[in-house]
Amino acid sequence: MLFIDPHIHMVSRTTDDYQAMRAAGIVAIIEPAFWQGQPRTEVGTYKDYLSMLVGWERFRASQFGIRHYCTVGLNSREANNEALAEQVMELLPLFLMKEGVLGIGEIGFDDQTPAEEKYFRAQLEMAKELDLLVQIHTPHRDKKHGTSRSMDLCIEHGLSPEKVIVDHNNEETVREVLERGFWAAFTIYPHTKMGNERMVAVVQQYGSERIFVNSAADWGVSDPLAVPKTASLMLERGISEADVHKVCYQNALLAFGQSGQFNESDWLAGVSIDQTQRFNGNSVLRGGQTPQVDKPADERIIH
């Protein structure tokens, strides 16, 4: 089976992860902008981070046969630093229309503060104006209320539910998300959020329509192979291959395909690999390693 991981933070991962992911059948990934663990002190660091998402990380993934896409936005945690937030909001339009950017994300609530709501609303308006998809981060605390409020704001700002991916769902939120017509994404973490066993139970209860899974693997304890591992467990527990395909591939393709940039044809024929390439002088290889080349020598990407 082929898999899509529609929420993974590869700037925090190693090239070994890329190799393992491709070997497990992951062909395309989406990397939302997020809080990197240490607060950013100035807008220039945010600019460099977003540049990395649309540049180096896109290149690095291609060197291991994986198509890389992203969403960009001001994350909920850093929305509370209003001086930084104002500058980031001015910066975002420079990145939102770049190649491989599928929408605004991940945005939403963390502590559900007035500042978070202010910049959440501002980014929803930006998405509406530019006709972009929205990828929502639902809060870890008081999740049910935060999820309901997030959807209320989307409707209030005139966004169509089918253009909004509500992420980090659990058993407490899934029914309302589906009943209101939004996409319900689930993060599979080893010890928190949704585990594989719980995800199987969700699909058994609610089916496979408008539901998909991701790893959200980042700098914390997380697993970049969460999607294929969840698929495996679903099959073991008797969920049909057709439903597993929807939850671990097809639904993410349908949701993010609305951007016009996330196309199956981009990877079905295989992603050309040429590890002789460099990005701004950088290679993924180290001295003495043999480059892998799976494409004609005259096909080169110039950076």
**Residues 250-266 pLDDT 10s:** 999 999 999 999 999 99
Token pair of 175, please? 């029914």
- The amino acid present at 184, given as its one-letter code, is A
Whole-model pTM: value is: 0.93
Quote the Cα angle for 187-59-249, to 5°: 35
Residue 69 · residue 262 · CB < 8 Å: yes
Give the residue carrying structure tokens 């949704």: 194
What pLDDT is stored for residue 295 in this prediction? 60
Residue 14 CB neighbours (<10 A)? 10
What pLDDT is stored for residue 298 in this prediction? 41
What pLDDT is stored for residue 194 in this prediction? 66
What are the phi and psi torsion angles at 197 (to 5°)? -65, -45
What pLDDT is stored for residue 299 in this prediction? 45
Find the helix or strand (DSSP H, E) in which 3 lies.
strand 3-5
What pLDDT is stored for residue 191 in this prediction? 65
Residue 255 · residue 48 · CB < 8 Å: no
What pLDDT is stored for residue 193 in this prediction? 58
Q: What domains are defined for the chain? A: 3-265 (3.20.20.140)
Residue ranges, the chain, pLDDT below 50: 296-303
| Pairwise CA distance, residues 96 & 11, whole Å | 19
What pLDDT is stored for residue 148 in this prediction? 98
Residue 21 · residue 2 · CB < 8 Å: no
